Amino acid sequence: MPSHKRFAMITENHLSENGEKKNPNEEFEKMTSENQTFQNQTLHEDEIDHHIEEHHDVEISLGDALKEMERMINSPDAGENSKKFNQLKEKASHYIHDEVEDKKHEYIEAGNPPENFSYEHPFQTRFSALINIFREKHDIYQKKQEEEQKKNLEYRQSIIEKLKNLYTNSEPGINLFKVIREIKEDWSKAGQVPKSEFKILNNNYFHHLNQFYQMLDLNKEFLEQEYNHNLEKRQHIIERAKELENEPVIQKALNELQYLHKLWKEEAEPVAEEFREKTWEEFKEISNKIHERKSELSVVIEAEQNNNLEKKNQIIAEIKKLSNPSDEPNHNYWQNAIKRVEDLRSEFLKTGSVPRKLSNQNWNEFKTTLRGFNTTKNTYYKSLKGSQQANLEEKLKLIQTAKDNMNTEDWDIAVPLFKKLQEDWKKIGHVPKSMTNRIWDEFRDACNTFFNNYREKSNVSTDNWKENYNNKKALLEDLKTVTNEDGSIERIEAIKTAWNNIGKVPRDKISINSEFNKTLREKLKLNKINELELKEEGLTENQLTDKARKIKSQISDLEAEIVKLENNLAFFNKPSRENPLLKDTYNTIDEKKAHLENLKQNLHNIIAGE
């Protein structure tokens, strides 16, 4: 008998228990109805997702936003996360616009005409380049996705055709159970198709699957086995949904419930009549109970957002307080205030979202407060211009006095004079920034010339070079005995200070300096300390300048190394100290930061003359 006639007979004799004929499309209609309910449920879940995404929309700095945009562009899946990239793009654009407005505000406040304002943000070029590169990569990704989805569509259509042939043209003796398992397995693993094709394609698949099950009515044992298999799938989904009712993190429960609905929708294969409505109603009832807990999430989010609002308002209040000090502020006050405000600004940006209805108001108040701080600070420094000019004239007089006396050999008068000149220099306030380095270099050179001449003539006149050699030799022998026990670093510092205060040695004995430096490096390495971290006294002005220059160079190198290591961490998803792969990296960063702080403190001490 031809297969299509055999199927016609099966359909004609497919009766219900009470003798009435069943509608051949009954299964398909029921599944279509269920699928529509699933789609509605998924829309509800999408709303939850949007709610959650909105909650996690925390502020980040402009620099971090650009770094994250660059990381996304350089990742293998560049172009895939367009939604996340566009969110970052909007944030970066928002910050750039605000900072340009701040510059314009300062420009106009200085008395300049608004129409002459011109300013290009330093990150604008990089920002535009990132957008263009991402757009190109996203276009490539889209084309690739379209090609893959087209192939997936053809592949799924071939699966449907195979399913259709299974109940219309199958050969006698074929293992239907094995073949239908393979078909369903292939269908579950097949990739995504265009959204416009999915609904029709999915309905078509379940229609032919339903027709296949109707054909199996002649083989009750096989049909029962297949129904039991499908029921197990539904029961597994239901059991997992029940567990989610007790999930303490409602956000996690909602996310996983959405996934379970996706499974149910895409694998809602028929089960025995008595279980069809029952299983769906049970699953739907559990889902509704979980959704009722959405209010818990809203309460948590509302509490967090109110807490964030309170934190941000406290930050605004502190900036306002810094803008209006109770005592008369000086330069040191404003320098500390500038640093503190920058920290508060970073803290404000890192704090999470606030209630939507208050978001714009809170942000505008923050920007207004920052501008108010900058206005007050700028007013102070404008008032300093007159006093800075007076300070400049005083320092120029000290420079002239130093130059007039730097070649004198009347030590009894000149030594106290130069010491007083240095003390007076420290007492005089700030000068115009454009002159600071130039006049300091002039003053320092004049002082160095005098003191170098004084030391050289003093050493020669006393003819104590041999005694210097003996003293240095004793210090070298003392240094060689140093170990890494407690107090060794202080002992090294004392030896080095004593060495600095000893003058020259005979020319044929000068190699002792190299031997001392070599031994010093060994002992520093043994005690795990850098030479630049030593606290030593007795250095000449030239030696202090040279040490400060070396410290600055090492500070710059260390900061670059730390930035590089921290950038490397950004390539990991949720980098954590608990990750064994990252543990050494975090320890290295901590060590370098500690070393960096020591160097900065030493540099400060040198500059401050401590």
Taking only the tens place, the pLDDT of each residue in 270-292 is 777 788 888 888 888 888 888 87
**306-315 mean pLDDT:** 89
**Residue 585 belongs to what H/E stretch?**
helix 580-608
**248-273 mean pLDDT:** 78
> In which band, very low, low, confident or very high, does the pLDDT at 26 lie, cut at 50, 70 and 90?
very low
d(CA 119, CA 110): 15
The pLDDT mean for the chain works out to 77
d(CA 605, CA 348): 33
DSSP assigned state of 291: H
Burial 255-292 (b: 16+ CB within 10 A, else e): bbbbebbeebbbebbbbeeebbeebbebbbebbeebbe
Confidence at residue 13, expressed as pLDDT on a 0 to 100 scale:
28
User: 506 and 459 share a domain?
Assistant: yes
User: 441 and 479 share a domain?
Assistant: yes
Q: What share of the chain is helix, strand, coil (3-state, %, to 5)?
A: 80, 0, 20
At 47, which amino acid appears?
E
Confidence at residue 583, expressed as pLDDT on a 0 to 100 scale:
75
d(CA 506, CA 472): 12
**305-319 mean pLDDT:** 89
pLDDT surpasses 60 at 23: no
Confidence at residue 120, expressed as pLDDT on a 0 to 100 scale:
83
Assess if residue 156 is contained within a domain: yes
**DSSP output for 15-72:** B-TTSPBPPTTHHHHHHHHHHHHHHHHHHHHHHHHHHHHHHT-----HHHHHHHHHHH
Confidence at residue 59, expressed as pLDDT on a 0 to 100 scale:
62
C-alpha closest to that of 603 among 501, 497, 532, 531: 532
> In which band, very low, low, confident or very high, does the pLDDT at 608 lie, cut at 50, 70 and 90?
low
C-alpha closest to that of 422 among 440, 407, 409, 436: 440
**DSSP output for 595-606:** HHHHHHHHHHHH
CA end-to-end distance (rounded Å), the chain: 108
User: 449 and 438 share a domain?
Assistant: yes
Which domain-ending residue is among 492, 516, 538? 538
Confidence at residue 463, expressed as pLDDT on a 0 to 100 scale:
59
Percent of the chain with pLDDT over 70: 82
User: 496 and 599 share a domain?
Assistant: no
Assess if residue 11 is contained within a domain: no
User: 603 and 502 share a domain?
Assistant: no
Token duo for residue 513: 């300096």
> In which band, very low, low, confident or very high, does the pLDDT at 609 lie, cut at 50, 70 and 90?
low
Assess if residue 170 is contained within a domain: yes
> In which band, very low, low, confident or very high, does the pLDDT at 267 lie, cut at 50, 70 and 90?
low
**568-578 mean pLDDT:** 72
Burial 118-155 (b: 16+ CB within 10 A, else e): eeeeebeeebeebbeebeebbeebeeeeeeebeebbee
Percent of the chain with pLDDT over 90: 1
pLDDT surpasses 70 at 601: yes
d(CA 477, CA 251): 70
d(CA 285, CA 271): 19
What tens digit of pLDDT does each residue of 321-376 get? 888 887 888 878 888 888 988 888 888 888 888 888 888 888 888 888 888 888 88
User: 530 and 517 share a domain?
Assistant: yes
User: 528 and 543 share a domain?
Assistant: no
User: 590 and 505 share a domain?
Assistant: no
> In which band, very low, low, confident or very high, does the pLDDT at 589 lie, cut at 50, 70 and 90?
confident
Task: Indicate the number of domains in the chain.
Answer: 3
Token duo for residue 181: 């398992």
pLDDT surpasses 60 at 16: no
> In which band, very low, low, confident or very high, does the pLDDT at 245 lie, cut at 50, 70 and 90?
confident
User: 506 and 559 share a domain?
Assistant: no
pLDDT surpasses 70 at 34: no
d(CA 249, CA 243): 12
d(CA 95, CA 79): 23
Confidence at residue 461, expressed as pLDDT on a 0 to 100 scale:
52
d(CA 429, CA 425): 9
d(CA 12, CA 23): 10
Confidence at residue 166, expressed as pLDDT on a 0 to 100 scale:
80
Confidence at residue 392, expressed as pLDDT on a 0 to 100 scale:
86
Confidence at residue 240, expressed as pLDDT on a 0 to 100 scale:
87
**176-184 mean pLDDT:** 80
- Compare 234 and 176 and report the one with higher pLDDT: 234
Which domain-ending residue is among 218, 237, 271? 218
- Compare 320 and 219 and report the one with higher pLDDT: 320
**543-554 mean pLDDT:** 76
Confidence at residue 20, expressed as pLDDT on a 0 to 100 scale:
34
User: 528 and 548 share a domain?
Assistant: no
Assess if residue 332 is contained within a domain: no
pLDDT surpasses 50 at 45: no
- Compare 42 and 409 and report the one with higher pLDDT: 409
**158-179 mean pLDDT:** 78
Token duo for residue 109: 């406040």
Assess if residue 596 is contained within a domain: yes
Provide the domain limits for residue 546.
Answer: 539-609
Assess if residue 154 is contained within a domain: yes
**89-112 mean pLDDT:** 79
DSSP assigned state of 171: P
Confidence at residue 3, expressed as pLDDT on a 0 to 100 scale:
37
Q: Which residues are CB-neighbours of 171 under 8 A, at least 6 positions away? A: none
Confidence at residue 536, expressed as pLDDT on a 0 to 100 scale:
67
Q: CA 276 → CA 31, 108, 155, 401, distances in Å? A: 10, 73, 29, 103
What tens digit of pLDDT does each residue of 427-471 get? 887 787 778 888 888 888 989 988 888 877 766 655 577 788 888
C-alpha closest to that of 134 among 96, 77, 95: 77
Token duo for residue 604: 């400060």
> In which band, very low, low, confident or very high, does the pLDDT at 214 lie, cut at 50, 70 and 90?
confident
Assess if residue 374 is contained within a domain: no
Token duo for residue 384: 């300093």
User: 432 and 567 share a domain?
Assistant: no
Assess if residue 78 is contained within a domain: yes
d(CA 60, CA 102): 19
Which domain-ending residue is among 517, 538, 559? 538
**395-415 mean pLDDT:** 87
What tens digit of pLDDT does each residue of 473-515 get? 888 888 888 888 888 888 887 887 888 788 777 778 888 888 8
Confidence at residue 18, expressed as pLDDT on a 0 to 100 scale:
31
Max CA separation in the chain (angstroms): 132
Confidence at residue 12, expressed as pLDDT on a 0 to 100 scale:
28
User: 99 and 186 share a domain?
Assistant: yes
Confidence at residue 14, expressed as pLDDT on a 0 to 100 scale:
29
**402-413 mean pLDDT:** 86
How many helices, marked H, and strands, marked E, lie in the chain? 20, 0
pLDDT surpasses 80 at 419: yes
